[in-house]
Structure 1
């Protein structure tokens, strides 16, 4: 009986050692998204344009060479290019963003992309950033055609209905007046 168990375990070990996992290959090279589903195929959350009708403009986004307005509360501007703005990105699993920062005091608030990883390239100047666990913070490439973004301060201090100020005061070691002030600041953000 011991030899039988040994053979079963050996067989399982060999079977699992030959297993492999991978992302499936796309069914086609590209799938330009279209808003109107007339005579289209539904792939990856978007309808696909007839490949014979694609044009170069389906893969072009103008304006990434234009600096964004950084005259706001945080001193930064994000120009996001995802599948909703560049239809040729559909099914490719990528998006990108241009980040502009005001000199000396611009910042990109702490955030996370729940459906993507992020890579950052600084084109000009020096950028100081912090990576907290899986979050990284200039051009960013994201591993999703629609990465989503959750800005931490807005999520904590700006939800409707608001989080109980007593809970936030205790969690962030603030007094209730500071929490109420922050909730008013982010209520309309």
Structure 2
């Protein structure tokens, strides 16, 4: 029964994510456009090289790689498994994608943003503390503790995060309203840019001693 509930919730997430397509990526002008790397085996449709629809198979729309727990033994205690056009060529031009997120106890998806997509997340296992911050007009923080079966939405372009509050592993699925949502992790972008942002700039921006900036840049560089 538990497994059936998980897949039911996953189907709901995918359905809800598909309703967000018009928020970001443009609508496709054909049924599908299966991405291919070799133009010789493709047809040019809607400005893209696509596999000849007559050669399409069910495997072009299929991915089985979300089964089983992921290794979360890293610095943040989480692992993201994407399901985008690289995994399912048939997703090309459809304006949606999906990720599975595994969290160790105290595992974190650090504050980040998706410049091209809203996100809808459903908890399959565990307890997550999630939230997002509005733009600079008021920088208002919206947070919620989520349990199995709970759903939360992160608006496009806003900084958001997830943290596993539980003592056991947690798993979530998230649908995104773009086949290429992009991701900007705040700490990585600010302290791990290439080349580095001037420590003088960051020290003044964060109102901290320059030595703290040097330390943080060394952690992320």
With normalisation by structure 2, the TM-score equals 0.69
Matches within 5 A, 1:18-167: 26-43=28-45, 46-103=48-105, 105-133=106-134, 134-137=158-161, 138-167=172-201
**Offset, 1:65:** 1.8
Higher strand fraction (1 or 2)? 2
2:215 — aligned with what? 181
Query: What residue ranges of structure 2 are gaps of 5+ in the alignment?
Result: 1-22, 135-157, 162-171
The higher relative CO (CA closer than 8 Å, separation ≥ 6) is in 2
In 2 relative to 1, CA 130–39 (structure 1 residues): closer, same or farther, beyond 3 Å? same
Residues in 2 aligned to 1:184 and 1:24: alpha-carbon distance in whole angstroms: 40
The partner residue of 2:205 within 165, 171, 174 is 171
Q: Report the CA distance shift for 1:170/1:44 in structure 2 as closer, same or farther (over 3 A).
A: farther
Q: TM-score scaled by structure 1?
A: 0.80
Change (3 A) 1:140 1:24: closer
Residue aligning to 2:11: none
RMSD: 2.0
- 64-73 or 37-46: bigger deviation: 37-46
Gaps of 5+ in 1: 1-21
Higher CA-based Rg: 1
Counting matched residue pairs gives: 165
